[in-house]
Structure 1
Amino acid sequence: MMRHSDLSSLIRLNIGGKKFCTTIDTLTCREPDSMLAAMFSGRHTVCQDAEKGYVFVDRDGKQFRHILNWLRDGVVPTLTDSDYSELIREAEYYQLLGLIEGINSILNKRKDDEDSCAELTRTDIIKCIQSERVRFRGIDLSGLDLSKLDLSFVDFSFACLKNVFFSRANLHCAKFRDVDAEGSIFHNATLRECEFTGANLRGALLAGANLQSANLQDACLIGCSFCGANLRSAHLQNADLTDANLEGANLEGANLKVKERKLPGFS
């Protein structure tokens, strides 16, 4: 084990077998709240191979070069949609929220430029939510940026919400029954008392979201990130939480009766 005081500014990393050389400043300055910044800021100790001098992290080395370049110059790389999906997964692990938002901005612009199949635009949504009762039941809104909007009490049931960006949106009491929201971003969104029964949220990012008293019964939550999320009194009966990340989530009073599955982190 070594401490920050023993480290030089030069850091050697072994990421899943691929080796990199960088500096403490690169790993800590651009995203100071990230896992990488925490590892090398001096607040924690890190494990280093005493003979070879490398800090080992068991993650995808192919994508880590893009992460390093982002930390160095703040530019999101130009990649295919499938490569972006892999990079978002790694950025989520390292808690690089700036990179995640940058990737989603590019993907949303790409969808707009290619006349995406979404039936409504962000402007259309803003006009609609000025009405008292708003329903988008069964509508295809895939790829839209709906971040920071007040969408409380809106009914999205049965809609296609793939890769929709709901970051910091107010979705209090919104209905998402049987929606397909695979890969959507709900980072820091307000989702109190929302209805997600039967929803497909595979791979969705819900880090920091407020899901207090939300109903997630029978939902597909495979690979979802709930890091730091508020799940107090949430209903999770029969939800599929395979490979879900619940690190730092508040599960006080949550109903965790999961049929024929073991909840990650619980025995």
Structure 2
Amino acid sequence: MDDRDIVNFNVGGTRFATSKQTLTWVSDSFFSSLVSGRIPSIKDSTGAIFIDRDPSLFASILNYLRTKDIDVKHHELTALKKEAEYYGISPLVNRLSLCCELMSASCGGVLFHGFIPPPELSHSDADPLEAFKCKHGLEYGEGAFHSIPVSGKGKALRQVTLIKGHHNWIAAAYPHNICIYKIRERSLWHCIWTSPHMEQFIERLAINAKAQSGTSKESTHRLVAASYGSSVRLWQVTSAGEATDIGNFNLTVCVDELLFIGSQLVALGKSGKLGVWHSMSQHWQVQGVTPITSFDVAGTNLLLGCRNGSIYYIDMQKFPLRMKDNDLLISELFHDVNEHAITALSVYVSPTTSISGNRVELAYGTHQGTVNIIIQHPETVGRGPQLFQTFSVHKCPVARVDLSDKHLLSVCTDYNHVRTWSITRFRGMISTQPGPLPRASFKLLSLEDVDPLNSYRAGNHVGPYGDSSDDQQIFVQKVLPETDMLYIRLAATGHTVCLIRSTDGSEITSFCVHDCEGSSRMGSRPRRYLFTGHSNGSLQVWDLTTALDLYSKNETVGETPGGPTASDLVSMLEFCDVSNSRHTTPNVSPSPSLLRGISQRSLTQRGCVSTTSTPQSPLVSATRPSTAPPNIQGSNVP
């Protein structure tokens, strides 16, 4: 072999040497173009061609060119595939693409429970074509519509921004519409009602508890409320999809929280306004209060943590009977001795809990970072709740606290730093010996856009989720604002239970954990589900009960052993010519010239537009996960 046939490389500081024959057996690759001089090269002081790439991945690529075999044991398939794409090694790209497809759960793994397609939403756009494109994520080109990633205005119009649940009902908010879904037998979700288009951007959403109607024990209707700015709009929706617009109400300040306590609608403004609508009297009442910094609900009691260090409560069950001069009866429960702002509240709800009675257990966090427990037991009646213990473990304001049967946890604003303690009880009461014991410390990194939507935090709340008597409370961690992944983590320890990944690669824009009632069959029990809303307007349902059960048995969640490994699969495909067709069975991709002139409906039915691609062009598909990493600035499509 002549020395002129030897090519030297300097890849990220590591030197390689190979022959021109090895580099050029794949035509139209990066190396064949480099050797032929079709593309310029940079050489170091020794004359070696410099390539600024990962040398370890380059070694695997070079070994494939030498032997037509690839070792995937020491590299991730995705990283290896990207490197093969960079060098234009099309046979290897096709092989690794198939491996990545088979290793991913494109139809959903063991935790995937269901898919709810995007609803038919009304638009007020002046241009009907633009409204159609925003709705379907379509763009017209070369004689036919083809799917494109939704971005900009179309994305803002279609994405699910808020999800709320009650019993077997789910309310999903889009920027200008609300959809109500109801579960039926065999776990089928049906859209029973879609609200008219609202000009304002929906910022808060609530769906009510069981409402009474006439003499029936349980009504078949629900109350659905939405807020934007200082306005609150309320509907009554029946299970048959018939809706009644009850009215519009004004809090006079921006609505920061919207919730139902029983059949009463409550709107809170942190600047110091409280609005209550009662379903029996049909009366809306607004009252000024001390600026609100936190709240919690215990039964029919609403507790308010305020900036002045006081904790107030309102017994909603006695409203509107106990009204004096059209004022709500707001009673002070406790006042912080240091007068620190109460930034987080949690009441331990047990069968004997009574805020206005003789038993209270409550945890609260302050702006200075302290976590306090106050208690009132029967033997302390007459003196009010007393400070039980204080923890000074945070340097930043406490954003959330949760006092449950077995644990106390707090979350501060320092990248959602979580501290947890184990609690022992004697006859249902917190035991003083040994008292709360530290258990875990971890962080729940969750980044936000520089200018997020007003509904973003309400629709992407980290938690904790689960009943206070439940030992399996969880956090839902969304690391990036534009991502298709969620981490489900145990609230007590921070351990990861499972990873949720969108089945179609669409961005997760909101989520909600909700316990749905079991079926009417005997022995059924409520199951916990995660509902994820997506940028394409769809919802996906995930079975967290199964995830927690598998985790408690130390079984791997979402992975089923058996079958060929990635390495085995790559070896099996050595003598196969793998194309970029995404059909589930071998199928000849039609020529692009034949696609022109065919109607969009025909193309969609045949699956030609979004499911096939020529090997030379990048594939853009609305039904497959993207291999591009999450991008905070926006998803880039090649």
Establish whether TM, by shorter chain, passes 0.5: no
The structure number with the bigger radius of gyration is: 2
Higher strand share: 2
Higher RCO structure (Cα 8 Å, ≥6 apart): 2
* Band of TM-score, shorter chain: 0.3 to 0.5
User: What TM-score, normalized to structure 2?
Assistant: 0.21
User: What TM-score, normalized to structure 1?
Assistant: 0.45
Higher helix share: 1
